[in-house]
């Protein structure tokens, strides 16, 4: 190979090597630093986002925990307050239990045994008035005798009240009257509300003499009904109702065509039913309606009968489903009536006697209101 050719080859290799070296140097100084600059920027940005998100989540968790903790504290405070109140209530109850017996003794001591005087029953009032009448007519009794006969109310009268003595046993002087005069006087006394007890006493004074007279019997049944109304003691009410119903049953048996007998027997059956269970109450309800219808047939112009019939119709119209099923099970039939029937009866009362009673107006308003509600 010629010498010039070797020189050209060596020169070419040197130039190529120099070019490669320059290329490598440019790469290290220019391209590699740029790559190194770009990667940290992305990494830094991602880390910043992660940091912000983490801080937000931590703040939210801290807020939730604080709220929950606050609610727990409120609940604990309420529970503590409730327990405190319960302890105070227990203490007050204990003090009351200790104080009430002492208070009762203190009141009895202050009143000197007079506290029971406020619970005077119609029988006590009757006995007291009767003794006053006897004393004013010239019959002398010592104060001790009067007290023993019931003229004064003492703490021992509760036992006496339960025995319901026959009013006649306390009579010392009885005015002798024939039947017509007796019935007229009893009717006149009864017209005054404050003298119904006196009317009852008058009839009891003569019941042995006129016990077979039907006009006397039904008036005595009516008088027992009056005493039921006047009494405030449950046992007394039951006592009067039972005796009156027994006499009423005797009256309708003795005089089946006397409207007054059926009227007052029905009333006393209604009174007795107030102390019975559901079965007997329904039974007495049928008895009440039977004799009330008979009385209306015999006394078609008596307003009291239509008032009572209106009350019955209204009560039946308000019976619950269970009460109707009970009546059907026990008696095979269910008492039926409507608000309209009740309304007709109360209007009939006003037709026969205007201003018959305030109670009639009250039930008129009740049935009208019920009729309006059912029509809606």
Res 195 pLDDT > 70? yes
Q: What is the pLDDT of residue 72?
A: 66
Res 345 pLDDT > 90? yes
**CA distance between the termini of the chain:** 131
Res 283 pLDDT > 70? yes
DSSP state of 337: -
Instruction: For residue 367, count CB atoms less than 10 angstroms from its CB and return exposed for 0-12, middle for 13-18, buried for 19 or more.
Output: buried
Please state the separation of Cα 334 from the chain's center in Å.
Answer: 26
Q: Which two tokens stand for residue 22?
A: 């320059």
Instruction: Spell 301-330 as b/e; 16+ CB within 10 A means b.
Output: ebbbbbbbbbbbbbebbebeeebeebbeee
pLDDT category, 41, cuts 50, 70, 90?
very low
| Rounded distance between C-alpha atoms, residue 201 and residue 169, angstroms | 11
Mean per-residue pLDDT, 218-223: 97
Q: What is the pLDDT of residue 56?
A: 59
| Crossing angle of helices 196-205 and 214-230, rounded to 10° | 140
Mean per-residue pLDDT, 122-138: 47
Give the position of tokens 């007495």: 284
Phi-psi region of 150 (alpha: psi -120 to 50; beta: other; left: phi over 0): left
Could you report the per-residue pLDDT of 144-190, keeping only the tens digit for each? Answer: 333 333 333 333 333 333 444 444 444 445 667 899 999 999 999 99
Architecture category of domain 178-300 in CATH: Alpha Horseshoe (1.25)
What average pLDDT does the structure give for the chain?
74
> Contact, 130 vs 171, CB < 8 A?
yes
Q: Please, where in the chain does CATH 1.25.40.10 lie?
A: 178-300
* pLDDT: which is higher, 238 or 159: 238
């Amino acid at each position: 190979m010629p010498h010039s050719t070797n020189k050209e080859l060596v020169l070419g290799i040197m130039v190529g090597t120099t070019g490669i070296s320059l290329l490598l140097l440019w790469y290290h100084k220019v391209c590699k630093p740029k790559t190194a600059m770009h990667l940290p920027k992305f990494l830094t940005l991602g880390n910043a986002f992660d940091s912000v998100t983490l801080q937000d989540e931590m703040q939210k968790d801290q807020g939730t925990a604080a709220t929950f903790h606050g609610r727990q504290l409120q609940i604990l405070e309420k529970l503590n307050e409730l327990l405190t109140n319960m302890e105070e209530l227990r203490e007050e109850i204990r003090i009351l239990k200790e104080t009430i017996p002492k208070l009762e003794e203190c009141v009895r001591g202050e009143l000197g045994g007079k506290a029971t005087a406020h619970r005077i029953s119609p029988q006590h009032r009757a006995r007291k008035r009767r003794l006053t009448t006897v004393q004013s007519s010239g019959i002398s009794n010592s104060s001790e005798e009067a007290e023993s006969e019931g003229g004064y109310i003492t703490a021992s009268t509760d036992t006496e009240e339960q025995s319901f003595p026959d009013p006649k046993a306390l009579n010392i002087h009885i005015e002798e009257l024939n039947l017509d005069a007796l019935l007229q006087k009893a009717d006149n006394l009864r017209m005054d509300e404050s003298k119904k007890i006196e009317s009852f006493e008058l009839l009891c004074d003569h019941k042995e003499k006129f016990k077979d007279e039907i006009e006397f019997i039904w008036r005595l049944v009516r008088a027992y009904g009056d005493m039921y109304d006047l009494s405030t003691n449950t046992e007394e009410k039951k006592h009067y109702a039972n005796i009156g119903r027994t006499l009423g049953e005797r009256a309708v048996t003795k005089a089946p065509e006397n409207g007054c007998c059926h009227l007052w027997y029905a009333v006393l059956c209604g009174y007795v039913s107030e102390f019975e269970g559901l079965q007997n109450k329904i039974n007495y309800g049928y008895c009440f309606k039977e004799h009330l219808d008979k009385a209306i047939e015999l006394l078609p112009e008596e307003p009291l009968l239509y008032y009572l019939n209106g009350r019955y119709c209204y009560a039946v119209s308000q019976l619950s489903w269970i009460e109707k099923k009970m009546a059907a099970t026990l008696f095979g039939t269910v008492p039926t009536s409507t608000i309209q029937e009740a309304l007709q009866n109360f209007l009939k009362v006003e037709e026969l006697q205007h201003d018959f009673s305030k109670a009639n107006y009250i039930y008129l308003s009740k049935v009208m209101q019920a009729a309006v509600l059912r029509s809606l």
